[in-house]
């Protein structure tokens, strides 16, 4: 649905009203993914006791999805351009949360990444991704035209490196990688100079090399990386092999809901979170996997389009960041289960069990939709120019 | 640009999804199946092997087996260097407990591809109990190491019948393909019968393992048992074998071989003087004892033998095996069933039967059934003849004069039988095949399919007159095993009924002893055997073991003083074996007229059958005739007996010392009472007929003899001594018989060296005079 067709359908409408330009389909795709995710979570967590299936996880995740949709709805009422003004407090809040979690957070699986509130846990790194997106978008949108000067690039990198460093220290390398991908994509769209980027990539490679050889990475993380590079008889490669067997076991149409033997035996670790795609792959087969990929493709295509059609560069950067976040997480999470990416703890957006992740993902979609529906709206402080890329 | 990147991401994910779920779907599904369920095989005990009397010949023994749980170990020690260190430590502990094992052996087992990720890898069997206690205390140091009970095959009688019983060994990968369809569910870690009865009755002995299909989780923990079947123990096999006869046969055969080695080869020089050549080598031999009724194998001995239990040792090495295999005396060869020998003169009875049956001896032949022929000691095949066998000579070229078929058998006339053979070849209306057909009728050239490892031999048709004459006396290319020779004599004992030798009497249910399969004798054929054929043959065979004023049979010496109620029909064979020394053979059955035993003894390179082989049969038959077959103790019993014997001997020695002290004391006081008492009585017995007893003389339990002598001697000195009196009372009758034996030439005590326990120096001088 384009702006022109919207007008032609309803010529009496006010073209300035955002509600005439809303595209809710990305959110629908997200809800679809969330529902498929619920099925997967149920299969992965219901347990073996036929008379007493565990529904705790699926109920919680259902709640998270509802909260996520509400957050989405709330966010689209909110004009994204306010965010440019609020960028500093938002960014500061994310950093503070990241610092706080290092002090009062709880440790799970060797990483101190969570706040604990009763039975709920919150993962500030998830929200920090959005904080980073907003901060970077705000920083880069001050420039109206031309390529990115070096000063701006350095600023952007400093903005990115602060949360990335804290996240790595938790350690949560997965989220750090997502933040890295977000930054890279936004710099690219923000027209950073090619030679600067090449220099940056070289620098990053050096940093990763140093990181691997430093004591900053936990042993299990090095193990996983080695397992990916050298799939010999380590536990991590065993996990990855079992994940692939699970997906392969599904075949064309899958074993049927609740019938996946790999899933039932618990042979794949973290199956309701990072490895959620293996449940879908096993129980719904190639057909189910394709549906998931198509929903993601649709979502990302809409986001891509939204980024291009955004009313200002700030909005365009915001959507780009969200797009990069989803794209990288999806590729990493699904690719890992199929053995084309190393095993890293990254949730699959909308599908993996986890409140912080669900909320962040829906907020991300909300941001994008909010940007998109206001592409023709008059600005809160300035007139709208021509919609630019 | 970002769009292209996104397309690339989706493209690769989609392609990979396609590859995993469509291209390699089946592979993954198989693996998933293997992941979900684990089949656990619960081994079933293997059946036992019993002898005809129900004595257990092969049993199962519970032992401690050290196994390593691979999963637990690799969790604890993922790297190879850690595992190596662990292996060294473990090897040291096991070795300290008394079971020697190398760290390398453990490493090899740990990396054996035969075992899966969750399998328990066996490291060592039959480890002392000490080790399981140690491991129980130090679980933390040895993660995954467990001691479990397992069974190994156990031979209560040690090496007795070892060749026949065989052994079990691991299933080889190559076998598994053939076993896949077996309902007995062979697993790569299983054992299978590799030789002997263990191999040939594998189907009966092997049980069916129980199968538990277990649903497991990722850690290999049991979730639930999906399917379960209980192990079904293997069934027992009851053999026709009699362990006591088997032990007797083995002992006598070994004794016969040893005796043969002490004799020298003799030759007659051109001027008629007997000269002695080198000693007989006698590298080995065999004995077969059959019950003619159904050709049941009662005993089957081979010499030399080996300890079949070496094959179940974990540390049995290829090098050790090579040593045994390359031993020139071939201890691995079961000569009784797989020795390939020409039958020699024992074959003459088959020639005789062929001659009767074809009419060659009889109405239309070359000689009447009871007609005589002049035997000049040698005979040359007429006409152009250059083959072996063109000149037929009797042993020592001895002319036998006018002989009929009976005398020809009794005195083993090569001239007589050589001519019969020649006639088959040349006479109108007769063929060489009539001779070879008779051989086949008697079972030569025919395998004994019920007997493991038995050969079928070879009965080639001789190409010319000379070789036919040679075949008629059992020389040449006809090859047979001692079992076949024995079976042909069982056929004679049966008056023409040819059975296929049987080794198993029944298959029994291991739990309740019910007979599952009752093996019946398998009659192959019945030969036409009217009195006109049979009587001369039997008469000739009986003549072999007896002597008349006119002539003595070739084995008469060996059967001198043989119990008269046990008539033996037999035939000697002295088999030319150029360039080596002659083989000695003796085939016989008895007691005539109701034969219950047929026997063959065949000793390689041992000279005359009458000298070397016949005494062994005579000795075994005599024990049977006298009902003096020793009950063989199992190894465990023997160990107990030895310790009891030692206790008795020690006690005896103590009593003797006290006695001696008293005697010394008395000798000082009562001088006129007893001169020369000690050695004289037994000493006077032996020189009397020592030569007559020779090899064959056999008797009562040997250890009684020496231990009784001193009390006997003491008795004559002091009949009132309570200690001496007690002792004699325990030992029973032998004492009175010793002085009695002094006058008539009855069997003399003959002492088997290995049984011989010398309690006292007093007996030594006695033994010296007793020997051959």
How close, in Å, is residue B83 to chain A by CA atoms?
A: 14
Q: Comparing C-alpha atoms, which of B129, B126, B195, B206 is closest to residue B166?
A: B195
Are the beta carbons of B36 and A265 separated by less than 8 Å? yes
Domain range spanning residue A135? 20-373
**Contact predicate B328/B284, CB 8 Å:** no
The whole-number average pLDDT for the span B362-390 is: 81
* Chain A neighbors of B32, CB-CB under 8 A: 245-246, 248-249, 261-262
**Contact predicate B481/B285, CB 8 Å:** no
Q: Comparing C-alpha atoms, which of B385, B362, B377, B394 is closest to residue B462?
A: B385
Nearest chain A Cα to B24, which residue?
Answer: A248
A188, A246, A281 member nearest B2 (Cβ)? A188
The whole-number average pLDDT for the span A45-70 is: 88
Are the beta carbons of A293 and B10 separated by less than 8 Å? yes
The whole-number average pLDDT for the span A195-204 is: 83
How many A/B residue pairs have CB atoms within 8 Å? Answer: 109
Interface test with B, best of A249, A290, A307, A320 (most B CBs within 10 A): A249
Residue A382 within a domain: no
Residue A342 within a domain: yes
Q: Give buried/exposed letters for A252-261 (b at 16+ CB in 10 A, else e).
A: eebbeeeebb
Q: If pLDDT is split at 50, 70 and 90, which confidence band does B759 have?
A: very low
Are the beta carbons of A48 and B223 separated by less than 8 Å? yes
Q: If pLDDT is split at 50, 70 and 90, which confidence band does B217 have?
A: low
Residue B321 burial (CB count, 10 A): 13
Q: Comparing C-alpha atoms, which of B489, B710, B455 is closest to residue B588?
A: B489
Are the beta carbons of B1 and A261 separated by less than 8 Å? no
pLDDT at A336 over 60: yes
Are the beta carbons of B28 and A338 separated by less than 8 Å? no
The whole-number average pLDDT for the span A296-319 is: 92
How close, in Å, is residue A171 to chain B by CA atoms?
A: 24
Q: Comparing C-alpha atoms, which of A190, A173, A177 is closest to residue A135?
A: A190
* Chain A neighbors of B216, CB-CB under 8 A: 265
Rounded Cα distance between A326 and A347, Å, is 10
Which residue(s) pair with B303 in the sheet? Answer: B285
Q: Give residue B516's pLDDT.
A: 92
How close, in Å, is residue B31 to chain A by CA atoms?
A: 7
Say whether the peptide bond before residue B695 is cis (omega within 30 degrees of 0): no
B13, B21, B78 member nearest A334 (Cβ)? B13
Q: Give residue B708's pLDDT.
A: 42
Angle at B435 between CA B431 and CA B440, to 5 degrees: 130
Are the beta carbons of A251 and B25 separated by less than 8 Å? yes
End-to-end, the C-alpha distance of chain B in Å comes to 111
Ranges B449-463, B541-555, B638-652, B697-711, most confident? B449-463
pLDDT at A388 over 70: no
How close, in Å, is residue A170 to chain B by CA atoms?
A: 27
Q: Which two tokens stand for residue B693?
A: 């007893």
Are the beta carbons of B32 and A293 separated by less than 8 Å? no
**Contact predicate A85/A78, CB 8 Å:** no
Rounded Cα distance between B601 and B584, Å, is 8
Are the beta carbons of A286 and B217 separated by less than 8 Å? no
Nearest chain B Cα to A254, which residue?
Answer: B21
Q: Which two tokens stand for residue A286?
A: 């190639």
pLDDT at B578 over 90: no
Residue A151 burial (CB count, 10 A): 8
pLDDT digit string, tens, across residues B425-483: 888 889 999 999 999 999 999 888 888 888 999 999 988 888 899 899 998 889 999 99
- Using a CB–CB cut-off of 8 Å, the residues of B that contact A are 1-3, 5-6, 9-10, 12-14, 16-18, 20-22, 24-25, 27-29, 31-33, 35-36, 74, 78, 215-218, 223
Q: Burial-class residue B462 by CB neighbours within 10 Å (0-12, 13-18, 19+).
A: buried
Residue A5 within a domain: no
Q: Which range (B159-168, B262-271, B548-557, B712-721) has the least confidence? A: B712-721
Q: Give residue A316's pLDDT.
A: 92
Are the beta carbons of B20 and A188 separated by less than 8 Å? no
Q: Give residue A221's pLDDT.
A: 65
Q: Give residue A227's pLDDT.
A: 57
Q: If pLDDT is split at 50, 70 and 90, which confidence band does B226 have?
A: confident
pLDDT digit string, tens, across residues A81-115: 889 889 999 999 999 999 999 888 888 777 788 88
Instruction: Please provide the size of chain A in residues.
Output: 389
pLDDT at B406 over 80: yes
Angle at B107 between CA B105 and CA B109, to 5 degrees: 70
Q: If pLDDT is split at 50, 70 and 90, which confidence band does B740 have?
A: very low
Do strands B296-303 and B401-403 pair parallel, antiparallel, or not at all (unpaired)?
unpaired
Q: Give residue A236's pLDDT.
A: 64
Are the beta carbons of A340 and B16 separated by less than 8 Å? yes
Q: Give residue B75's pLDDT.
A: 78
pLDDT at A289 over 50: yes
Are the beta carbons of B29 and A285 separated by less than 8 Å? no
Are the beta carbons of B25 and A248 separated by less than 8 Å? yes
Nearest chain A Cα to B13, which residue?
Answer: A335
Q: Which two tokens stand for residue B421?
A: 């053979």
DSSP B729-754: HHH-THHHHHHHHTSS-PPPP---GG
Residue A9 within a domain: no
Nearest chain B Cα to A248, which residue?
Answer: B21
**Contact predicate B39/B212, CB 8 Å:** yes
- List C-alpha distances in Å: B393 to A351, B134, B590, B591: 104, 74, 30, 32
pLDDT digit string, tens, across residues B538-548: 999 999 998 87
Are the beta carbons of A247 and B20 separated by less than 8 Å? yes
Domain total for chain A? 1
The whole-number average pLDDT for the span B384-395 is: 76
How close, in Å, is residue A246 to chain B by CA atoms?
A: 7
* Chain A neighbors of B223, CB-CB under 8 A: 48, 265
Are the beta carbons of A248 and B29 separated by less than 8 Å? yes
Residue A277 within a domain: yes
How close, in Å, is residue B76 to chain A by CA atoms?
A: 12
A248, A262, A320 member nearest B24 (Cβ)? A248
Rounded Cα distance between B397 and B317, Å, is 52
Say whether the peptide bond before residue B770 is cis (omega within 30 degrees of 0): no
Q: Give residue A234's pLDDT.
A: 54
Rounded Cα distance between A272 and A279, Å, is 8
**Residue B601 carries which DSSP code?**
E
């Amino acid at each position: 649905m384009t702006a022109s067709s919207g007008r032609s359908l309803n010529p009496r409408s006010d073209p300035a009203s955002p509600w005439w330009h809303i595209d809710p389909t990305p959110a629908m795709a997200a809800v679809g993914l969330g529902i498929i995710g619920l099925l997967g979570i149920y299969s992965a967590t219901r347990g073996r006791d036929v008379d007493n299936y565990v529904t705790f996880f699926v109920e919680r995740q259902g709640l998270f999805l509802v909260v996520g949709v509400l957050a989405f709805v709330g966010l689209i009422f909110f004009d994204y351009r306010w965010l440019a003004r609020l960028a500093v407090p938002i960014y500061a809040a994310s950093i503070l949360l990241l610092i706080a979690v290092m002090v009062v957070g709880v440790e799970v699986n060797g990483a101190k990444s969570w706040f604990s509130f009763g039975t709920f846990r919150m993962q500030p790194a998830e929200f920090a991704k959005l904080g980073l997106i907003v901060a970077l978008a705000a920083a880069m949108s001050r420039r109206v035209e031309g390529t990115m000067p070096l000063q701006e690039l350095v600023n952007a990198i400093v903005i990115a490196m602060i949360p990335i460093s804290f996240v790595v220290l938790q350690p949560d390398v997965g989220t750090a990688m997502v933040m890295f991908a977000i930054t890279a994509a936004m710099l690219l769209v923000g027209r950073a100079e090619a030679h600067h980027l090449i220099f940056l990539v070289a620098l990053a490679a050096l940093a990763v090399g140093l990181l691997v050889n430093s004591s900053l990475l936990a042993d299990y993380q090095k193990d996983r990386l080695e397992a990916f590079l050298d799939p010999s008889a380590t536990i991590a490669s065993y996990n990855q092999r079992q994940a692939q067997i699970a997906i392969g076991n599904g075949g064309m149409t899958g074993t049927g809901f609740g019938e996946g033997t790999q899933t039932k035996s618990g042979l794949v670790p973290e199956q309701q979170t990072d490895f959620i795609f293996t449940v879908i792959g096993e129980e719904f087969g190639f057909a189910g996997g394709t549906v998931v990929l198509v929903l993601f493709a649709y979502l990302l295509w809409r986001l891509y389009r939204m980024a291009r059609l955004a009313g200002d560069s700030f909005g365009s950067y915001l959507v780009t960041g969200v797009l990069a976040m989803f794209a990288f997480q999806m590729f990493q999470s699904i690719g890992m289960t199929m053995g084309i990416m190393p095993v890293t703890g990254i949730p699959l957006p909308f599908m993996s069990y986890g409140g912080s992740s669900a909320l962040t993902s829906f907020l991300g979609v909300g941001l994008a939709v909010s940007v998109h529906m206001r592409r023709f709206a008059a600005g809160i402080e300035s007139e709208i120019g021509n919609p630019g890329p | 640009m970002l769009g292209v990147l996104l397309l690339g991401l989706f493209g690769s994910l989609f392609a990979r999804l396609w590859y995993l779920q469509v291209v390699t779907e089946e592979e993954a599904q198989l693996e998933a199946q293997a992941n979900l369920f684990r089949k656990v095989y619960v081994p079933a005990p293997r059946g036992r092997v019993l002898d005809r009397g129900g004595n257990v010949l092969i049993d199962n023994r519970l032992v401690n087996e050290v196994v390593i749980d691979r999963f637990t170990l690799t969790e604890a020690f993922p790297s190879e260097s850690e595992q190596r260190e662990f292996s060294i430590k473990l090897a040291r502990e096991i070795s300290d407990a008394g079971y020697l094992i190398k760290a390398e052996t453990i490493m090899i087992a740990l990396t054996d591809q035969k075992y899966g990720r969750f399998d328990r890898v066996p490291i060592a069997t039959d480890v002392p109990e000490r080790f399981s206690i140690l491991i129980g205390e130090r679980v933390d140091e040895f993660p995954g190491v467990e001691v479990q009970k397992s069974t190994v095959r156990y031979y209560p009688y040690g090496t007795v019948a070892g060749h026949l019983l065989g052994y079990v060994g691991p299933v080889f990968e190559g076998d598994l393909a053939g076993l896949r369809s077996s309902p007995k569910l062979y697993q790569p870690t299983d054992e299978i019968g590799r030789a002997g009865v263990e191999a040939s009755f594998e189907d009966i002995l092997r049980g069916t393992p129980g199968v538990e299909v277990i649903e497991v989780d990722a850690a290999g923990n049991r979730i639930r048992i999906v399917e379960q079947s209980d192990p079904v123990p293997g069934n027992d096999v009851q053999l026709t074998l009699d362990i006591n006869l088997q032990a007797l046969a083995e002992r006598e055969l070994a004794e016969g071989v040893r005796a043969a080695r002490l004799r020298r080869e003799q030759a007659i020089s051109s001027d008629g003087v007997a000269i002695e050549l080198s000693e007989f080598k006698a590298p080995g031999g065999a004995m077969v004892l059959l019950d003619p009724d159904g050709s049941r194998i009662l005993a089957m001995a081979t010499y030399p033998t080996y300890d079949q239990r070496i094959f179940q040792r974990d540390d049995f090495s290829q090098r050790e095996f090579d040593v045994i295999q390359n031993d020139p005396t071939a201890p691995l060869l079961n000569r009784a069933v797989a020795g390939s020998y020409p039958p020699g003169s024992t074959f003459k009875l088959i020639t005789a039967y062929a001659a009767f049956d074809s009419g060659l001896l009889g109405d239309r032949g070359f000689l009447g059934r009871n007609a005589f022929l002049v035997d000049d000691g040698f005979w040359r095949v007429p006409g152009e003849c250059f083959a072996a066998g063109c000149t037929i000579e009797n042993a020592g070229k001895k002319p036998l004069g006018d002989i009929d078929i009976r005398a020809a058998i009794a005195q083993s006339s090569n001239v007589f039988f050589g001519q019969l053979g020649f006639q088959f070849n040349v006479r109108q209306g007769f063929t060489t095949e009539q001779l070879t057909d008779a051989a086949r009728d008697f079972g030569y050239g025919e395998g004994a399919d019920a007997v493991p490892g038995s050969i079928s031999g070879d009965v080639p048709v001789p190409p010319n007159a000379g070789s036919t004459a040679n075949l008629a006396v059992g020389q040449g290319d006809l090859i047979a095993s001692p079992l076949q020779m024995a079976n042909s004599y069982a056929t004679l004992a049966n008056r023409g009924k040819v059975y296929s030798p049987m080794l198993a009497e029944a298959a029994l249910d291991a739990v309740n002893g019910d007979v599952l399969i009752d093996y019946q004798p398998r009659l192959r054929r019945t030969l036409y055997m009217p009195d006109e054929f049979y009587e001369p043959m039997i008469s000739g065979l009986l003549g072999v073991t007896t002597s008349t004023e006119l002539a003595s049979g070739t084995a008469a010496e060996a059967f001198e003083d043989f119990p008269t109620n046990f008539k033996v029909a037999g035939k000697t064979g002295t088999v030319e074996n150029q360039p080596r020394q002659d083989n000695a053979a003796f085939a016989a059955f008895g007691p005539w007229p109701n034969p219950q035993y047929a026997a063959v003894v065949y000793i390689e390179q041992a000279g005359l059958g009458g000298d070397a082989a016949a005494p062994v049969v005579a000795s075994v038959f005599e024990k049977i005739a006298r009902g003096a077959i020793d009950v063989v103790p199992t190894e465990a019993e023997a160990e107990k007996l030895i310790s009891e014997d030692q206790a008795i001997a020690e006690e005896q020695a103590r009593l003797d010392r006290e006695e001696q002290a008293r005697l010394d004391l008395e000798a000082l006081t009562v001088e006129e009472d007893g001169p020369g008492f000690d050695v004289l009585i037994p000493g006077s017995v032996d020189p009397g007929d020592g030569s007559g007893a020779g090899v064959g003389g056999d008797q009562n339990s040997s250890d009684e003899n020496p231990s009784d002598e001193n009390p006997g001697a003491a008795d004559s000195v002091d009949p009132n001594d309570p200690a001496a009196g007690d002792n004699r009372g325990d030992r029973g009758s032998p004492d009175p018989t010793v002085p009695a034996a002094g006058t008539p030439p009855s069997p003399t005590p003959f002492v088997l060296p290995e049984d011989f326990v010398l309690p006292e120096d007093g007996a030594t001088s006695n033994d010296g005079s007793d020997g051959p």
